[in-house]
A and B are shown apart, each in its own frame.
Chain A
Amino acid sequence: MRRPPQAVQVLGSVLVALVIAAIAIAVVTAHFGPTSSAKLEAREDALKQREDLIEEREKAREDRLEESR
């Protein structure tokens, strides 16, 4: 097989390096998953809502106990 001209070889080998870099970036950022501040805030809100709900239920239970006495 005849080798391509040197300029093509240089371009090709540099392009391969760029593709490798792009793949590494894509793989690692995909591994991070959602990191946008909006999604993180939504996750925190959901957690806070759950805590509030537990607190409310606890309070309602205590009120019922007081009433029954």
Chain B
Amino acid sequence: MEQLIEDLTRGNVTEVKVVLASVVLALAVYQLVLAGVAYGWLRLPFLEAATASWTHRASGDAIVVLTILVATACIAFYGFEEGGAHAVFGCALLGTIALKIVAVRAGGRLSRLLPLLGVSVLALFGLTWLTSAGDFLGAG
């Protein structure tokens, strides 16, 4: 697995991980705006709540795929041993994303938790990025 990741990234594992994680973080911030429109907290004259909700879901699916790719590369290549805070935030992030997906699928009373779970996911994305990519780019 380690060799496969090294080959796929042509030896630039960290750089590829940093780029993908930064894309995910930027899209996660956009997700917050879309969620705001979908819930009616933010009113934009050119975007309906239903459309914002659809894009939020589509963009969220892309974010989940990218996050799984980054997490797989991270765990398979670097492991947990030297992860420290990054590993803790990363695991909490994956767990919260899983919970959010369950809440979306289950609906009902669980869907009331979605705003809280969404904000938690964004915060964890930020913390996970800061303790790895941000650190690498000199922002952490």
A contact set with B: CB distance below 8 Å: 1, 3-4, 6, 9-10, 12-14, 16-17, 20-21, 23-25, 27-29, 31-32, 35
- Complex Cα gap A40–B15 (Å): 15
Chain B residue with the shortest CB-CB distance to A27: B22
* B12 sits at the interface (CB 8 A): yes
> Distance in Å from the Cβ of B19 to the closest Cβ of chain A?
5
> Distance in Å from the Cβ of B51 to the closest Cβ of chain A?
4
B contact set with A: CB distance below 8 Å: 12, 15, 18-19, 22-23, 25-27, 30, 34, 45-48, 50-52, 54-55, 58-59, 62, 133, 137
A24 touches B22 (CB 8 A): yes
A10 touches B51 (CB 8 A): yes
Contacts of A16 in B (CB 8 A): 30
> Distance in Å from the Cβ of A11 to the closest Cβ of chain B?
10
- Complex Cα gap A3–B30 (Å): 20
B46 touches A17 (CB 8 A): no
Contact of B18 among A12, A17, A20, A28 (CB under 8 A): A28
- Complex Cα gap A17–B15 (Å): 22
